[in-house]
Homo-oligomer: A and B are copies of this chain.
């Protein structure tokens, strides 16, 4: 019931890129966000594949957001790093449901609703909003 270390690192990276709003090298990201270089590269690869970041090769290359930060939600990042959210196996895999979805299971139903709310919450927050609240906080 916990997000990966890699997912947490992803949050930091995307915040960093949102603030800078330019191409940033993996080296700078690794140093400033305190992520092991090699591990970071792997994470960046996943984010590129998911269409959240774009990579630029060669000298002066690096990474930048692939789209407007307003269109990147917490849910997007989590699913890019960990696949679809499923708070209980029974919600996605019949094999793990003792009732095989044949009879109504009260826990199954309630967990399904709770998960829906969680996913909803996560998709409501995009990185533009996060940065805005960050800035207004710093100005106080």
Contacts and interface: CB of A to CB of B under 8 A. Distances in A.
Q: Number of copies of this chain in the oligomer?
A: 2
Interface in A34-59: 34
Interface stretch (A4-12, A20-28, A60-68): A4-12
A93 to B, nearest CB: 11
Interface string A60-84: 0000000000000010001000100
A100 B97 CA distance: 41
A24 B137 CA distance: 56
Given A109-B133, A117-B117, A121-B114, A90 B2 contact: no
Contacts of A82: 1
Contact of A114 (B109, B122, B134): B122
Given A2-B86, A2-B88, A89-B8, A133 B106 contact: yes
Interface in A95-140: 96, 98, 104-107, 109-111, 114, 117-118, 121-122, 125, 130-131, 133-134, 137-138
A138 B104 contact: yes
Contact of A88 (B8, B104, B131, B137): B8
Given A8-B90, A15-B106, A110-B130, 16 more contacts: A1-B1, A1-B78, A1-B82, A1-B86, A2-B86, A2-B89, A5-B96, A7-B88, A12-B98, A15-B107, A33-B98, A105-B134, A106-B131, A114-B118, A114-B122, A117-B118
